Amino acid sequence: DYTIAHRSLPEDLETWNKVSTKPAVMRARELFHIGNKYFARREWNSVVSNLTNYELQVAAMIAANWGWHDRTILTLGRAKSYDDLILRFPVVYENQMTKYSEMRGLDLGWMYALTRAESAFMADARSPSGALGLMQVMPATGRETAKKINFRTFYNRYLLEPDKNITIGSAYLKQVYERYNNVILATASYNAGPNAVARWLPREECVEPDIWVEQIPYTETRKYVARIMFFATIYDWRLKNKITRINQRMTDISPRNQVASSGLSCPAAANVSGL
């Protein structure tokens, strides 16, 4: 079994008071609590650029205390502080995440890992490519998916609402999973698109999943898949679930002709009982 190496950050009331009473931090707090996250982030970012690594860790704890989890994650990253896994991997939107993972038959640890990688739980996240919200759904994908799950209407702004984003994002994740019945291929598809993944399938023989991941031609997708497999294990621990070993989530990659004709076809994949 895995041993999860978590170490909580130490509490330091003196530094906490020093950081939390900085004018920009106080303004960020007020703006965050009234829902003006854009200007709250501006205030926060103006402060963190001038903090020491130790002060950044304390600032991350302050943000977590407010429930501002995306700033916690990003501020710890800025400090290169990776040991406090409770702060780095928050369990948020638990009702919605649990509801839709169960409804779709998705692995909750995997779904949390993907959402954390996509947005760091920043509900109003907008990517340069136009993806929106917690699960970073493209508006066109959101519209198509919403129609499939019988939304009466769809507006792009729905993707900035946590419940609607998780509803639509989880449905799309289930869709890409069902195409291959393979967590690795579904994860890569969520990042790079199903058409790209279809081009990367082996031509004739089953390929071991770790080898296939190393051969993904898109650097971003290659790192993304590896990161999410790691994050999913951490989330198993955070959710107090039985920890699924990384290699248990990774089944062999079927050749493209066999995927097209029969879905699962590699001997190792035949033992997968779902998510």
Nearest to 2 by CA among 226, 207, 197, 233: 233
Give me 34's structure tokens: 């009234």
H or E segment and range at residue 242: none
Please give the pLDDT value at position 260: 54
DSSP state for residue 208 in the 8-state scheme: -
The pLDDT score that the predictor gives to residue 272 is: 42
Other residues' Cβ atoms within 10 Å of the Cβ of residue 163: 14
pLDDT at 259 (0 to 100): 65
0.75 exceeded by pTM: yes
Distances (CA, A) of 89 to 17, 99, 179, 253, 269: 25, 19, 29, 29, 29
- CB-based contact 186:275 (threshold 8 Å): no
What angle is formed at CA 83 by the lines to CA 77 and CA 84, rounded to 5 degrees? 85
Nearest-angstrom CA–CA distance, 222 and 218: 6
Please state, in angstroms and rounded to a whole number, the distance separating the CA atoms of residues 209 and 215. Answer: 10
Binned average pLDDT, 10 residues per bin, the chain of 275 residues: 90 98 99 98 98 99 99 98 98 98 98 99 98 99 98 98 99 97 97 96 94 98 98 96 90 82 53 42
All domains in the chain, ordered by first residue: 13-88 (1.10.1240.20), 94-271 (1.10.530.10)
Q: Which pLDDT score, from 0 to 100, does residue 3 have?
A: 85
Q: Where are the beta strands (DSSP E) in the chain?
A: none
| Residue 117 burial (C-beta neighbours within 10 Å; 0-12, 13-18, 19+) | buried
Tokens 């982030």, located at residue = 41
Among residues 170, 165, 163, which one has the least CA distance to residue 111? 170
H helices present in 67-107, as ranges: 69-78, 85-88, 94-104
